[in-house]
Chains A and B, each alone.
Chain A
Amino acid sequence: VRQRGGRRSEPAAPAPGGDRPGLKVQKYGVSVGDIAGMRRVCRRIKSAVDGGWRVVAAIAALGQDTDRLVERAIRMKGAMARPSPRELDMLMASGGEGSTAPLVAIGLQGIGVPAMAFTGLQAGIETNAVHGSAEITCVRPDRVLLALERGSVAVVAGFQGATADLDVTTLGRYGGDATAVWLAAALRADVCEIYTNVPGILTADRHVVPEATVLRHISYEEAMELGSAGLPASQPRAVEIAEKFAVPMHFRPVATLDAGTMVVGHVPEHERMAVCAVAHQDRVAKVRVAGVPNRPGAGADLFEPLRQHGISVDAIAHIAEGDLTIMVHEPDLERIIGVIEPAATWLGASVTHDCDLAKISVVGKGMQGRAGVAARMFRTLADVGVNIDSIATSEIRITCIVRRNRHEQAVRALHAAFGLGRTAG
């Protein structure tokens, strides 16, 4: 399904109901200082407007703009453990998206496209008060609608919102995607387009599998599983919200007019496969706690300290005969051992760890009720001589933990075994 060559222009907007043109919410990432990047975004928006679409553009700032501000705040925090999150959010929101959104609006006006910039607050993005990683609770985009009715593009600062008290909040990582999806839901947009530097959602990481192809369609569940399994371009939380509100998401490359990937409720019949993609994560480590007493709450005693330190153990955790194994991101290993060891000692358990592992997952809605996917995965790994350390599954995902030295070979073998290199779209 790799797109060769691009269409020369955007397809024209449909006119649902016949009375008003279609509405797109588009999400872009730009850096304040990158004029060329901003111009490219402006042209991209213009081509949608020229195609007859009404457009809401959610703009996320790229990290470097706010990194400098956070550094300053850390220099000034004095004796405090960390700068106060409320004031930090004010910094992040002003220095990042608060600056890029008006600049994009000005750039659009400069090429003859009427545009209005809005902060998250002005766009009606209401959040809870968890500064630094706030959750959107409600979106009331009255002013965005007004701008659209006047024929303007609404340029909304992504990644930020405000509490009922009008305190500025930021949404945490990938908050820009969440802003776009929520706006698309509230405005009943025809589509939410997420523009990135990659061509779409791929069947595997191209660094490892050069023949990986772009999926034309993927289901919400698959996109979520892939995001957690380490394949970039889909942020699980944003996809979850899109599914909840049935917003079609469209991952598109910013640099070309290639079709990218649509995230939808139902993948068209002819594209359905047992497995849609192979994801992997290297730099995985395993922490094993042995001799955990078999009583209620023992697991909680171990995990609670991790939660308190803000460490998420996105991985396999299973208890078998007093053994508890968790998979962690290798760079976090030392910190996690430091947290979990005292708790384990207190329970009378012991902690060991193992590094140099990788996590390989195959994901596909089609594996439900289709026999033999797991067997084919294990056989494929065996054929390339890769030993499986542990296994975990969900309804649409099978994950194997393997040694790191041969994991890339394993990913390539799985990609071929499930027929992903030559799928027709």
Chain B
Amino acid sequence: MDGLIVQKHSVSAGDVRGMQHVWRRIKRAVDAGHRVVAVISAMGQDTDRLVALAIRIKGGMPKPAARELDMLMASGEAITAPLVAIGLQGLGVPAVAFSGPQAGIRTNAVHGNAEITAVHPDRVVRALQEGRVAVVAGFQGATDDQDVTTLGRAGGDTTAVRLAAALGVAVCEIYVAYRGIRTADPYVVPEARVLSHLSYDEALELAATGLHMPQPRAVEIAQQYRIGIHLRPARDDAGDGTRIVEVLPDQERRPVSAIAHQHGLGRVRVAYVPNQPGGAADILEPLGGLGISVEVVNHAGPGDLSFMVRESDLDRALQAVEPAARALGSAATSASDLVKVSAVGAGMVGESGLGVAARMFRTLADAGINIETIASSDIRITCVIKRAGHERAVRALHSAFGLDHP
């Protein structure tokens, strides 16, 4: 369908000014000759009250039933979407609101975190053909049984991306409360710039790092369906945002796209793990059962094994591995106040990766910063360092990889 765009907006039912902003955004696109599908996400506070009521009334159950909870959770978008449609109609823009099920969003029955299995947007297409804006409640769908489901985190983004794919639109616009994805945290690096383009892979690597970013799940789905994501600032004066695409344009290629960092980490180290099958598994297995997620695992056996956890999980993680460590005739120790600093860039793949790693280590050495642990993927190099001086490290790396200037 020509001139069709899919936009995703977040708004709270009670926020009339925010609503007005969304209508104007949509109207501008309509006035420019576009046909528009607007996916609406509600802000959490609308459903928080209902969830609190459910918890009060659930009595002896450990938690309210997921199926009924989904009916409550879905009411957030079920209320904001018709309000947005009514507002558009008030501005003279023909609009029609659809719930997730009406928009043809079919999901599996995993309530609270359902996955979209199919999209049949017949009614959306019909509305567009009639010259109307289709306002779709994001974050929700229905099973084949017409049970209402919610899509979990990033549910609204996922709805928008899947609708774009089903409607044959190449790019999905996601309006966000920030300017775009930056080369570093601007609180640490005042020179940090908004990236005009980023690859899916880079976005996924950066997602775990605290930079403003859509949820990884939405990025994965965009990558799977080859839908570009255009993160656009909701504020008019905040620039053009960031496009997340498969391949960066030539002029945007660089070995490193961003320096990310994350603090609040701790490390557990087991002094000796023998080089035999199951050694690492014995150590790490108890952590999964406790819901503790583990990263940057280092083990070049036979020898020591170390891994990182969130600082808040550190004591529990240490206790959990101690029995296994003792059984191996070893001991476990922990360290806190660590920071993970990562250089991420699709351009480091292959030969240039070695150069990037060398430059990263050299830069940190020149800044007098000791590296505790190193981990890497194809497009990321991560160094774990002490918290003291980590901001200096981030600034030095930002500068060394030429990110201070466009």
Partners in one complex: yes
Tell me whether A88 and B75 are in contact (CB under 8 A).
Answer: no
- Asked whether any CB of chain A lies closer than 8 Å to the CB of B68, the reply is yes
Tell me whether B89 and A77 are in contact (CB under 8 A).
Answer: yes
A129 CB, min distance to chain B CBs, angstroms: 13
Q: How far is the CA of A94 from the CA of B97 in the complex (A)?
A: 13
Excluding A88-B82, A90-B78, A117-B68, 14 further A-B contacts by CB distance (< 8 Å) are: A35-B57, A73-B82, A73-B86, A76-B19, A76-B87, A78-B91, A79-B91, A98-B71, A102-B72, A103-B50, A105-B65, A106-B54, A109-B65, A117-B71
A78: which of B69, B74, B79, B87 is its contact (CB, 8 Å)?
A: B87
Tell me whether B58 and A110 are in contact (CB under 8 A).
Answer: yes
Interface residues of B (CB under 8 A from A): 13-14, 16, 19, 50, 53-54, 56-61, 64-65, 67-69, 71-72, 74-75, 78-79, 81-83, 85-87, 89-92, 96-97, 99, 101-102, 123, 145-148
A126 CB, min distance to chain B CBs, angstroms: 13
Q: Which 10 A-B residue pairs are closest in the complex by CB-CB distance?
A: A78-B90, A110-B59, A94-B78, A87-B82, A102-B68, A102-B71, A90-B82, A107-B57, A76-B87, A94-B75
A112 CB, min distance to chain B CBs, angstroms: 7
Given contacts A106-B65, A110-B61, A119-B71, contact A72 B83 (CB under 8 A): yes
Tell me whether A99 and B50 are in contact (CB under 8 A).
Answer: yes
- Asked whether any CB of chain B lies closer than 8 Å to the CB of A83, the reply is yes
Given contacts A69-B79, A90-B81, contact A77 B86 (CB under 8 A): yes
Q: How far is the CA of A119 from the CA of B145 in the complex (A)?
A: 12
A35 CB, min distance to chain B CBs, angstroms: 6
Q: How far is the CA of A103 from the CA of B146 in the complex (A)?
A: 19
Q: How far is the CA of A98 from the CA of B86 in the complex (A)?
A: 20
A100 CB, min distance to chain B CBs, angstroms: 10
In the assembled complex, 23 residue pairs joining A and B whose CB atoms fall closer than 8 Å, in A order, are A32-B53, A35-B57, A69-B13, A69-B79, A76-B16, A77-B87, A78-B92, A79-B90, A84-B89, A87-B89, A87-B96, A91-B83, A94-B75, A99-B72, A102-B68, A103-B72, A107-B58, A109-B59, A110-B61, A110-B64, A121-B146, A122-B147, A167-B102
Tell me whether A76 and B69 are in contact (CB under 8 A).
Answer: no
Tell me whether B50 and A112 are in contact (CB under 8 A).
Answer: no
Tell me whether B96 and A86 are in contact (CB under 8 A).
Answer: yes
In A97-138, the 8 Å CB interface with B consists of: 98-99, 101-103, 105-107, 109-112, 116-117, 119, 121-122
Q: How far is the CA of A38 from the CA of B57 in the complex (A)?
A: 8
In A321-368, the 8 Å CB interface with B consists of: none
Interface residues of A (CB under 8 A from B): 32-33, 35, 38-39, 42, 69, 72-73, 75-80, 83-84, 86-88, 90-91, 93-95, 98-99, 101-103, 105-107, 109-112, 116-117, 119, 121-122, 143, 165-168
Q: How far is the CA of A95 from the CA of B50 in the complex (A)?
A: 10
Closest to B90 in A: A78
Tell me whether B71 and A101 are in contact (CB under 8 A).
Answer: yes
**With a CB–CB cut-off of 8 A, which chain A residues contact B86?**
73, 76-77, 80, 83-84, 87-88
B232 CB, min distance to chain A CBs, angstroms: 23
Closest to A146 in B: B145
Closest to A84 in B: B89
Q: How far is the CA of A83 from the CA of B58 in the complex (A)?
A: 36
Tell me whether B85 and A107 are in contact (CB under 8 A).
Answer: no
**With a CB–CB cut-off of 8 A, which chain A residues contact B83?**
72-73, 76, 87, 91
Q: How far is the CA of A110 from the CA of B62 in the complex (A)?
A: 9
Q: How far is the CA of A111 from the CA of B61 in the complex (A)?
A: 8
**With a CB–CB cut-off of 8 A, which chain B residues contact A107?**
57-59
B291 CB, min distance to chain A CBs, angstroms: 25
Given contacts A77-B89, A87-B82, A90-B78, contact A102 B69 (CB under 8 A): yes
Tell me whether B72 and A77 are in contact (CB under 8 A).
Answer: no
Closest to A83 in B: B86
Closest to B57 in A: A107
Tell me whether B57 and A110 are in contact (CB under 8 A).
Answer: yes
Closest to B13 in A: A72
B7 CB, min distance to chain A CBs, angstroms: 19
**With a CB–CB cut-off of 8 A, which chain A residues contact B82?**
73, 87-88, 90-91
Q: How far is the CA of A121 from the CA of B147 in the complex (A)?
A: 10
Q: How far is the CA of A84 from the CA of B82 in the complex (A)?
A: 9
Closest to A39 in B: B57
Q: How far is the CA of A352 from the CA of B44 in the complex (A)?
A: 57
Closest to B54 in A: A106
Closest to B50 in A: A99
Tell me whether B72 and A110 are in contact (CB under 8 A).
Answer: no
**With a CB–CB cut-off of 8 A, which chain B residues contact A112?**
60
Q: How far is the CA of A111 from the CA of B148 in the complex (A)?
A: 24
Q: How far is the CA of A91 from the CA of B81 in the complex (A)?
A: 9
**With a CB–CB cut-off of 8 A, which chain A residues contact B79?**
69, 90-91, 94-95
Q: How far is the CA of A233 from the CA of B351 in the complex (A)?
A: 82
Listed residue (B81, B82, B83) with the most chain A CB atoms within 10 angstroms of its CB:
B82
**With a CB–CB cut-off of 8 A, which chain A residues contact B87?**
76-78
Q: How far is the CA of A227 from the CA of B375 in the complex (A)?
A: 77
Listed residue (A39, A119, A143) with the most chain B CB atoms within 10 angstroms of its CB:
A119
Given contacts A84-B89, A121-B146, contact A106 B99 (CB under 8 A): no
B132 CB, min distance to chain A CBs, angstroms: 11
B53: which of A80, A101, A103, A165 is its contact (CB, 8 Å)?
A: A103
B58: which of A80, A101, A109, A143 is its contact (CB, 8 Å)?
A: A109
Q: How far is the CA of A76 from the CA of B16 in the complex (A)?
A: 8
**With a CB–CB cut-off of 8 A, which chain B residues contact A35?**
53, 56-57
Q: How far is the CA of A33 from the CA of B50 in the complex (A)?
A: 9
Q: How far is the CA of A106 from the CA of B81 in the complex (A)?
A: 26
Listed residue (B69, B79, B99) with the most chain A CB atoms within 10 angstroms of its CB:
B79
A92 CB, min distance to chain B CBs, angstroms: 9
**With a CB–CB cut-off of 8 A, which chain B residues contact A42?**
57
Closest to B77 in A: A94
Closest to A72 in B: B83
**With a CB–CB cut-off of 8 A, which chain B residues contact A84?**
85-86, 89
Q: How far is the CA of A112 from the CA of B65 in the complex (A)?
A: 12
A105: which of B68, B74, B148 is its contact (CB, 8 Å)?
A: B68
B318 CB, min distance to chain A CBs, angstroms: 38
**With a CB–CB cut-off of 8 A, which chain A residues contact B78?**
90, 93-94, 98
Q: How far is the CA of A93 from the CA of B19 in the complex (A)?
A: 21
B99: which of A77, A88, A90, A110 is its contact (CB, 8 Å)?
A: A90
A90: which of B19, B89, B97, B148 is its contact (CB, 8 Å)?
A: B97
**With a CB–CB cut-off of 8 A, which chain B residues contact A110?**
57-61, 64
A170 CB, min distance to chain B CBs, angstroms: 12
Q: How far is the CA of A167 from the CA of B97 in the complex (A)?
A: 10
Q: How far is the CA of A255 from the CA of B157 in the complex (A)?
A: 47
B262 CB, min distance to chain A CBs, angstroms: 37
**With a CB–CB cut-off of 8 A, which chain A residues contact B69?**
102, 106
Closest to A142 in B: B145
Tell me whether B58 and A106 are in contact (CB under 8 A).
Answer: yes
Closest to A113 in B: B59
**With a CB–CB cut-off of 8 A, which chain B residues contact A117?**
67-68, 71
Q: How far is the CA of A76 from the CA of B80 in the complex (A)?
A: 11
A75 CB, min distance to chain B CBs, angstroms: 6
Tell me whether A76 and B90 are in contact (CB under 8 A).
Answer: yes
